[in-house]
Amino acid sequence: MPEFAEVPAAEQLLFEVTDLKQWVYCPRVLFYRYCAPELRPLTDLMRAGIRSHADETGREERRSLRSYGLEAGERAFDIGLRSAALGLRGRLDLAIAVPSRSQATEAIVVEYKDSERPAGPHFKLQLAAYALLLEATWSIPVRRGFFYSIPLRQSEPLAITPRLRAQVGQAVTAMQAMVHGERMPGAPTSRRPCIACEFRRFCNDVV
């Protein structure tokens, strides 16, 4: 079992939005990240994902807003967002103020994804978190978002519902409790996530 790291106080602990995706996938991954951070390598898969998102920003600048069903909008790329109240921080691929920042009636969040599959619950929670962060930062309501599939060159809409918003808060609260209690969560019911997991050698109960 690895040595535990000292975790930041509650008011200093801001989770990455991408942590929410991991949390749905397997909560234990987050335990390793925050309570034993020296264990996590940056895998080749993660590096490839970072590169493909950077490339997509260049293509997005040339793409029409019709990809999102919009006639007009002002785009902002790769925006750093953080909120102590939400306990979150992250970098959003694309935000669109409709029709412009100065006259906006709504803002839209867009995340690029490398998959051709429809977005699962883990991606939806992540996009909802970006919506909450953007609302807090821009003070513009965010009611919807899109996933943009890089391989398919298609967008997939997502309504930012009250239920999704509540799920973000519940997940952050549970993640904070896990980190501060230094309690390792149980393994996921399905062992599929474990097959290619970089922490597999530390999870003696799943091998």
Interface with ligand SF4 includes 197 (CB under 6 A)? Answer: yes
| CB-facing half-sphere around the CA of 63: CA atoms within 13 A | 19
Report residue 100 as tokens.
Answer: 């412009």
Interface with ligand SF4 includes 206 (CB under 6 A)? Answer: yes
Beta bridge partners of 30: none
| CA nearest neighbour of 69 among 101, 112, 105, 98 | 98
Task: Give the nearest distance from C-beta 179 to ligand SF4 in angstroms.
Answer: 15
Q: Closer CB to ligand SF4, residue 153 or residue 191?
A: 191
Interface with ligand SF4 includes 39 (CB under 6 A)? Answer: no
Q: Closer CB to ligand SF4, residue 64 or residue 190?
A: 190
Interface with ligand SF4 includes 169 (CB under 6 A)? Answer: no
The strand pair at 88-98 and 74-83 is best described as: antiparallel
Interface with ligand SF4 includes 203 (CB under 6 A)? Answer: yes
Strand runs labelled E in the chain: 15-16, 74-83, 88-98, 106-113, 142-149, 154-159
The residue from 21, 23, 28, 90 that contacts ligand SF4 (CB under 6 A) is 28
Q: Closer CB to ligand SF4, residue 117 or residue 200?
A: 200
Size of the site for ligand SF4 (CB under 6 A): 11
Q: Closer CB to ligand SF4, residue 85 or residue 207?
A: 207
Measured CA distances, 207 to 28, 200, 201, 204 (Å)? 15, 7, 8, 6
Interface with ligand SF4 includes 23 (CB under 6 A)? Answer: no
| CA nearest neighbour of 150 among 109, 118, 113, 123 | 113
Interactions with ligand SF4, residue window 176-195 (CB under 6 A): 187, 193-194
List all residues 6 or more positions away from 161 whose beta carbon is below 8 Å from its beta carbon. none
Biggest alpha carbon distance in the chain? 56
Range in contact with ligand SF4 (rule: CB under 6 A) among 23-31, 78-86, 143-151, 171-179: 23-31
Report residue 14 as tokens.
Answer: 């801001």
- Residues at the interface with ligand SF4 (CB under 6 A): 26, 28-29, 187, 193-194, 197, 199-200, 203, 206
